[in-house]
């Protein structure tokens, strides 16, 4: 079972209108080539990645909540997404990690959908390990 800590009763249902940007760190995302294989091994691998993401993000949001920052949610706003990937990861193509990252943002309801109606720009770049310590750093900015 994949944990869903963001569905706690204490998080606000309506997104704050003044939220302009949020950044989260995720474990190294699986390649889209690996996700679209329909076998149990790959499905379990993806489920373990989602679970690791949930634990990582829950920890980040718990720390933010202690500072008085609520869970990010951009609702129907248009956004730009910056995906920074640790260059030490084994992925050869940056675009292979993109789908997993966008699907996770949608899953935890930071963005409503990854369609062009909501996500207006996506930038993917390789960065030094200290800039994406967990593997991937996602920054979502309101347009």
Q: CB under 8 Å to 50, separation ≥6 — which residues?
A: 2, 104, 107
Structural Rg of the chain based on CA atoms: 15
- Please name which of 60, 75, 79, 48 lies closest in space to residue 133, comparing C-alpha atoms: 60
3-class DSSP state for residue 141? strand
Q: What domains appear along the chain, each with residue ranges and CATH number?
A: 20-142 (3.30.1330.70)
Tell me how far apart the alpha carbons of residues 111 and 141 are, in angstroms, rounded to a whole number: 10
**Short-list 101, 106, 82, CA closest to 91:** 101
Please state, for a pLDDT cut of 90, what percent of the chain lies above it: 48
Give the span between the Cα atoms of 143 and 137, in whole angstroms.
Answer: 19
Please check the confidence at residue 79 and state whether its pLDDT lies above 70: yes
Q: Which residue has the tokens 């329909």?
A: 38
What local confidence, expressed as pLDDT, does residue 74 receive?
A: 87
* Terminal C-alpha separation, the chain: 35
Mean pLDDT of the chain: 84
**Among the listed residues 114, 127, 124, 121, the one whose alpha carbon sits nearest the alpha carbon of residue 141:** 121
**Residue 86 pLDDT more than 80?**
yes
Mean pLDDT of 16-43: 82
Rounded average pLDDT over 44-59: 93
Please, where are the H alpha helices in the chain? 32-35, 40-66, 95-107
User: In angstroms, how far apart are the furthest CA atoms of the chain?
Assistant: 43
- Residue-level pLDDT at 4: 45
Tell me if the pTM is above 0.95. no
Residue 125's pLDDT is 93
The answer for residues whose C-beta is within 8 angstroms of residue 41's C-beta and 6 or more apart is none
pLDDT average, residue stretch 72-91: 88
């Amino acid at each position: 079972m994949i944990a869903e800590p963001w569905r706690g009763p204490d998080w606000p249902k309506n997104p704050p209108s003044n939220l302009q940007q949020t950044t989260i760190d995720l474990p190294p995302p699986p390649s889209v080539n690996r996700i679209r294989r329909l076998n149990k091994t790959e499905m379990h691998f993806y489920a373990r990645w989602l679970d690791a993401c949930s634990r990582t993000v829950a920890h980040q949001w718990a720390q933010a909540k202690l500072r008085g920052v609520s869970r990010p949610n951009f609702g129907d706003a248009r956004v730009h997404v910056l995906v920074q990937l640790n260059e030490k990861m084994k992925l050869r193509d940056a675009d292979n990690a993109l789908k997993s990252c966008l699907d996770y943002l949608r899953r935890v309801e930071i963005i409503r959908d990854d369609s062009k109606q909501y996500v207006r720009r996506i930038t993917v770049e390789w960065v030094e390990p200290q800039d994406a310590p967990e593997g991937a750093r996602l920054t979502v900015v309101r347009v």
